[in-house]
Structure 1
Amino acid sequence: MSIESITERILREAQAYSDSQRSEAEAVKAEILKEAQVEADELLRGYEEKAKNDAEVLVSRRQSVADLDARKMKLAAKQAVIDECYKEAVDMILNLETGEYVKFICRQLGAYQQEGGEVLLNKTDRDRIGADLVNLFKGTALTLSDETVDIEGGCILRRGNISYNASLEKLLSNAREELTAEVAGILFK
């Protein structure tokens, strides 16, 4: 055998071995790519499912926040209506005819007429009904103070260091604590 034929045979065997190795490598490569694609598809499905779940949770949370905000706004609107009702009640009392308003003040002081004390009014009421109260206080232990107080209406009875607050603000505050549920029930059936 000549060197050329040996070389040729070695080259053919090397080429056959190379082709065999290349084929094997291509098969391994295809298998790895197939497995990688399956894994990538599974990961993608997992991420898509997680993203879908996260989106549903986010939408649910946003809906809950929106519902809560809506309830807060509705409550604030109801509270504003109730506040307006109490403001109108104050206005109605302040706008009573003079005689009726004097009776209102006297009803607040009824239990204290014999115990006595000094009655304080706001400036407007002092000017409006002061003289009427002085006449009504004759024969009682009550006196009308020259001092005025910063209240919307009603009065404050001062007896030494003790004061009885019968201002409209205080009276309606007390009534509000007791009646708000009832008022709300009437207004918002």
Structure 2
Amino acid sequence: MSIEKITSKIEQDAKAKADEIIGEAKKQAWDIVKEANKKAEKIIADAEKEGAETRDKQVVSRKAVAVIDGKNVTLAKKQELIEECFGAAIEKVAEAPAEKYMDFLVSLVKAQGLSGGEIILARKDAALGEDLLKRLKAELPSGKFTISEEQRDLRGGLLIRDGSTYYNASIEALSEDMRDDMTAEVAGMLFGRQE
């Protein structure tokens, strides 16, 4: 065998070995790429699943917040309407026809159970003082009531001073006293009974 043949044989063997190594390297590279693709697909699938779960949790959470916010807005509106009702009731009493309003003032004095005192009227009711005294003398003959020079900024009703004690029978005070007892009843009338 000549040197050329030996050299040629070595080159052929080397080329065959190189082709085999390259082929094996390509196969390993493809295997690595396939494995990487599988891992990438799993990572993407896991991320999509986690993202969907997170999105679903956020949607549920945001819906819950929206429901609570909606209930709070509804409650605020209901409370506003209830306040308007109490305001309208105060207005109705304050603007009642003269005879009914006088009956109301007399009933306020009687309800205090006092035998006398100084009656302080709302500024708007100052002109009713003498008529109120006449009615009180007729209905409570033993009563010793006077009308004070002092007047207050009240929507209506009156105050009675008995020595150093004041009895507040203003419309505002009466409304506040009844508010706790009547709020549920007013809400029931406005919105129906709700569980």
What TM-score, normalized by structure 1, do the two folds share? 0.89
Instruction: State how far apart, in whole Å, the 1-side matches of 2:176 and 2:42 are.
Output: 66
* 1:103 CA drift (Å): 2.0
Q: After the TM superposition, which parts of structure 1 deviate over 6 Å for at least 4 consecutive aligned residues? A: none
* 1:171 CA drift (Å): 0.5
* 1:89 CA drift (Å): 1.1
Percent same amino acid among aligned pairs?
Answer: 35
Q: Which protein, 1 or 2, shows the higher relative CO under an 8 Å CA cutoff with sep ≥ 6? A: 2
Instruction: State how far apart, in whole Å, the 2-side matches of 1:164 and 1:6 are.
Output: 130
Instruction: State how far apart, in whole Å, the 1-side matches of 2:172 and 2:6 are.
Output: 120
Q: Counterpart of 1:148?
A: 151
Q: Summarize deviations over 1:140-186 as a string: whole Å, max 9, x none.
A: 23221111112111111223332211111110111111011111112
Instruction: State how far apart, in whole Å, the 1-side matches of 2:4 and 2:120 are.
Output: 134
| Residues 120 and 157 in structure 1, CA contact (< 8 A), matched pair in contact too | yes
| Residues 153 and 167 in structure 1, CA contact (< 8 A), matched pair in contact too | yes
* 1:18 CA drift (Å): 1.0
Q: Counterpart of 1:135?
A: 134
Q: CA separation of 1:160/1:2 partners in 2, compared to 1, >3 Å: closer, same or farther?
A: farther
* Ranges in structure 2 where 5+ consecutive residues have no aligned partner: none
Q: Summarize deviations over 1:87-113 as a string: whole Å, max 9, x none.
A: 221122112222221221222221343
Q: Secondary structure at the match of 2:149?
A: strand
Q: Summarize deviations over 1:107-156 as a string: whole Å, max 9, x none.
A: 22213431x322211111112x1111233454523221111112111111
Q: Counterpart of 2:63?
A: 63
* 1:14 CA drift (Å): 1.7
Q: Counterpart of 2:169?
A: 166
Tell me which amino acid in the other structure corresponds to 2:8: E
* Ranges in structure 1 where 5+ consecutive residues have no aligned partner: none
* 1:77 CA drift (Å): 2.5
Instruction: State how far apart, in whole Å, the 2-side matches of 1:159 and 1:94 are.
Output: 24
Supply the RMSD in Å over aligned alpha carbons.
1.8
Q: Summarize deviations over 1:9-45 as a string: whole Å, max 9, x none.
A: 2222221221111111111111111111111111111
Tell me which amino acid in the other structure corresponds to 1:141: K
Q: Secondary structure at the match of 2:27?
A: helix
| Residues 137 and 143 in structure 1, CA contact (< 8 A), matched pair in contact too | no
In the alignment of these two chains, the number of paired residues is 187
Tell me which amino acid in the other structure corresponds to 1:130: G
Judge which range, 4-13 or 17-26, deviates more: 4-13
Q: Counterpart of 1:99?
A: 99
